[in-house]
Amino acid sequence: MADAPDAAMNQPAGYVPPRVWTWDQPSGGAFANINRPVGGATHDRNLPVGDHPIQLYSMGTPNGVKVTILLEELLAAGHSGAEYDAWMIEIGKGDQFGSGFVAVNPNSKIPAMVDRSIDPPVNLFESGSMMLYLAEKFGAFLPTEVHARAATVNWLMWQMGSAPFVGGGFGHFFAYAPFKIEYAINRYAMETKRQLHVLDTQLATNEYVAGGAYTIADMAVWPWYGSIAREAYGAQEFLGVDEYKNLMRWVEQVGAREAVKRGRMVNRTFGSPETQLRERHSARDFEINREDMVEARGGERV
């Protein structure tokens, strides 16, 4: 209920939600500068277009990495039609509010993708939608047998529905909020641990998330829950991630795949320079345009 029984207990003390919310102050916390209560473009800017059929506009966050892992897996499996240009959309700088980006994704969130092998081109947003689209287009990483396919889509949708509680809930209040709120941290730590336990239980009797085969469900779940298990928010001890033994086994197993290692690097803007490939326009970029190499050349991309 908006009007709590004792406003003195509220945060800040005495706060009572007004009848109508208005956007009159910055919310504080990390990323507050890009938060707005309205959608739509803030500036005119066309999206660049490269040579390949698939144009990806993204950044190396877990939602972006899901798609670059799938594209690298498709290429590794011999699907040359999955060749792609990965362009950088720096969300901290507001690139997602450019008119060209908004025309592809009215929701102004990375990743967004355009399949230009079809006329007119196909616009895609929501990483889960992009993964289903690519898996169906190439007939790969999505089983055709009805039970296995249903299980794969179940877990893909589970990831899409669950991860916002981890990122927007736990990660926000544990790491990004301007101050620590015990109630919020407890609420989202509980939910995050519940999700980790759900995954751990599933992986106790299944090699991969949706069963015996490596699918788009693994590629969707791994960037989020692998990252929670290994480094995200500096919360591994807090969440006791080592207790989820089956999850940890799968995190290592999937993380060891070469395509996963490559997919993680694409559009990455953090971590050590040798782990970052800011933009990817050909497979050779992994050998010549890693950020450590670009820095050694004084910023030149070749």
Ligand X SMILES: N[C@@H](CCC(=O)N[C@@H](CS)C(=O)NCC(=O)O)C(=O)O
Binding residues for ligand X, rule: CB under 6 A, are 34, 61, 63, 91, 96, 108-111, 126-128, 160
Comparing CA positions, the residue from 198, 135, 136 lying closest to residue 163 is 198
Comparing CA positions, the residue from 15, 7, 23, 99 lying closest to residue 57 is 99
* CB-based contact 76:259 (threshold 8 Å): yes
Q: Which is nearer to ligand X, 48 or 168 (CB)?
A: 168
Q: Which is nearer to ligand X, 34 or 148 (CB)?
A: 34
The full length of the chain comes to 302
> Least Å distance between CB 288 and ligand X?
28
Residue type for position 189:
A
Give the number of other Cβ atoms within 10 Å of residue 77's Cβ: 12
> Least Å distance between CB 95 and ligand X?
9
> Least Å distance between CB 301 and ligand X?
24
* CB-based contact 124:114 (threshold 8 Å): yes
Q: Which is nearer to ligand X, 141 or 294 (CB)?
A: 141
> Least Å distance between CB 110 and ligand X?
4
22 token code pair = 């208005």
- Three-state SS for 21? coil
Comparing CA positions, the residue from 239, 118, 269, 113 lying closest to residue 169 is 239
> Least Å distance between CB 232 and ligand X?
12
Q: Which is nearer to ligand X, 177 or 248 (CB)?
A: 177
Are β-strands 54-58 and 84-88 bridged in parallel, bridged antiparallel, or unpaired? parallel
Q: Which is nearer to ligand X, 59 or 294 (CB)?
A: 59
* CB-based contact 206:180 (threshold 8 Å): no
Omega cis (within 30) before 18: no
Q: Which is nearer to ligand X, 67 or 241 (CB)?
A: 67
Q: Which is nearer to ligand X, 152 or 289 (CB)?
A: 152
Q: Which is nearer to ligand X, 34 or 157 (CB)?
A: 34
Bridge partners of 57, per DSSP, are 87, 112
Q: CA angle 144-219-207, nearest 5°?
A: 70
The sign of the CA dihedral 54, 59, 64, 69 is positive
Rg (CA), the chain: 20
Give the number of other Cβ atoms within 10 Å of residue 145's Cβ: 10
